[in-house]
Chain A
Amino acid sequence: MADSVVSVAGLRVRHGGREVLRGIDCEIARGSVTGLLGPSGCGKTTLLRAIVGVQMLTTGTVTVLGEPAGSRELRGRIGYATQNPAEYPDLTVAEALRYFAAVLRAPKSDVDRVVAEVALGDHADALIGTLSGGERSRANLAVALLGAPELLVLDEPTVGLDPLLRDELWTLFGRLAARGTTLLVSSHVLDEASRCERLLLMREGALLAHDEPDELLRRTGTPDLEQAFLFLVRQGASR
């Protein structure tokens, strides 16, 4: 793919005697929202970490924005939000964001922008340690939005959020993609898949499918993604 932001080829990761990723190949196009879906423990986080460049690889290559993943040129061009919020509990939301903005050399005005984008305006001066789980995960997401990352890698950003807020975040993701940002969003909730332009379905360290949601339903002849997922798992097992 000529305009791919991420390209993964033959990626294998062994960890603790177990093969966590078993030969992943995929390409992610610029300006799209790609959903990475699969059950808990299937290797989603390891794949995301490999793309961000913090995961030691066993074999295979990961290229991001034309550079090998993890190279110096990429630092600051990728926004990454881990599943467990990586935050300073003894700082306020605004203090933490000001620090990360300084490290990223992002303008100071970015702090107010991202606080508004994740709807944390009322909590900007609250200590992160005193926030609820959902608020913490939004504060975590806010850090990833600082600067103008070309690629956003978000690991389960909507876990524990109320449906209204989830909807707002997905709308935000769509808006970012329309501006040319590429998003890779993982989730173990299949019903979020309909908000993605493309899907990567994953199970036990391998990709089951990489397709548009509608195309996936058509190809498997199933009424919803849950059924499509089951169909693909069974097809894989019988082969």
Chain B
Amino acid sequence: MSASVTLATNRRILTQLRHDPRTVVLLLVVPTLLMVLLRFVFNSPEQFGGIAPALLGIFPFTLMFLITSVTTLRERTSGTLERLMTMPIAKLDLLLGYALAFGLLAVVQVALAALVSVTWLGLDVASSVWLLLLVAVLDALLGMALGLFVSAFARTEFQAVQFMPVVVLPQFLLCGLLQPRDEMGLLLSWISDVLPLSYAVDALDRVTHSAEFDGTLVRDLAVVAGSALLALVLGAATLRRRTP
């Protein structure tokens, strides 16, 4: 591993994004616009306050999943990954380069959506806004890491896009947003227990509704961060130096 190669990779990905301003604008603005839309769909601060924290994590999670799976797939199919694999670059250099670049984007994206939600849309955060930001960024990073991992199983961008409903939507249905998790059937609540987004949404709810930094919150954060790390390591295992 080499810090200079990781940073060079990070710089390269940011430069690619700079040449694609439309993607950057979409990435940064869409979650905020969706939050605004949500606020006016409910037309009631209480109802908005009930669901907004979870969506503040879910929107960036979904977007990051989508953009990373397509970008890394492009790296695989264009031959640039194979070229890099003949060079002195560690797989983790490449993945961390991606994680840094997209993580940076996630921070700006989430900060913007949270800022608008708190200052204009009337979202009440019982604990600190910084903690809310931290959790939402972790969620975005989790989406990014899952996207990296899943891109290994897609051969075309068409397939990669379709992994979004496969990986993201079941987690969305089971995360406790539509129905409290302890009111689900036994089987479903078990499944919900092993899906990382459940803990992400739980953490966001806790941060907004209680000022207490308790053990459950620490557990939630550890699960989300651990899942992101696991997906990154699994993603590294899918990068092959030799192919058939």
Contacts and interface: CB of A to CB of B under 8 A. Distances in A.
Contacts of B44: none
B180 interface: no
Interface in A58-85: 70, 75-76, 78, 80, 82, 84-85
A82 B80 CA distance: 10
Contacts of A56: 242-244
A89 B12 CA distance: 12
Secondary structure dominating the interface of A: loop
Most buried by A among B80, B85, B89: B80
B78 interface: yes
Nearest to A153: B86
B79 A90 contact: no
B8 A75 contact: no
A4 interface: no
Contact of A91 (B4, B12, B82, B86): B12
Contact of B79 (A82, A102, A105): A82
A188 B39 CA distance: 64
A55 B89 contact: no
Contacts of B88: 75-76, 103-105
A87 B80 contact: yes
A99 B86 contact: no
B15 A91 contact: yes
Contacts of B219: none
B119 to A, nearest CB: 35
Interface in B16-62: 16, 19-20
Interface in A98-146: 99-100, 102-105, 127, 143
B5 interface: yes
Interface of B: 4-5, 8-9, 11-12, 15-16, 19-20, 78-80, 82-89, 241-244
Given A15-B244, A75-B87, A80-B83, 6 more contacts: A54-B242, A55-B244, A82-B83, A86-B78, A99-B8, A103-B84
